[in-house]
Amino acid sequence: MIKELIRDIAYDKITVSQALTRAKLIARQVKNDTFTNWLNKELNGYEYDDALLPEYRKIWAEIHLTAELPFGRQQTFPVVMS
């Protein structure tokens, strides 16, 4: 089962989502709860305050606030958050 999964991934026969779903079956068979939890989070998303949120899932972006002022004017300000 593992060799088949690796082969299907290597030859682009399945999507990443399909590979992760199939890996969940393997994780359950070997009774690896840590692997199962990681797979579930990869498939269903992480909570923003998850202590185990991996760096590759953190996406940083600049945030700008646009204020509409009188007489149709607009001003954009960068927002700095910790």
Q: What are the residue boundaries of the structural domains of the chain, listed by start? A: 2-79
Q: Which residues of 33-68 are buried (b: 16+ CB within 10 A; e: fewer)?
A: eeebebbebbeeeeeeeeeeeeeeeeeeeeeeeeee
Max intra-chain CA distance, the chain: 67
Task: Give tens-digit pLDDT for 49-76.
Answer: 999 999 999 888 889 999 999 999 999 9
Q: DSSP class of residue 57? A: G
Q: Could you give the CA distance from residue 27 to residue 25 in angstroms, rounded to a whole number?
A: 5
pLDDT at 6 over 80: yes
pLDDT of residue 60: 84
How much is the mean pLDDT over the chain? Answer: 93
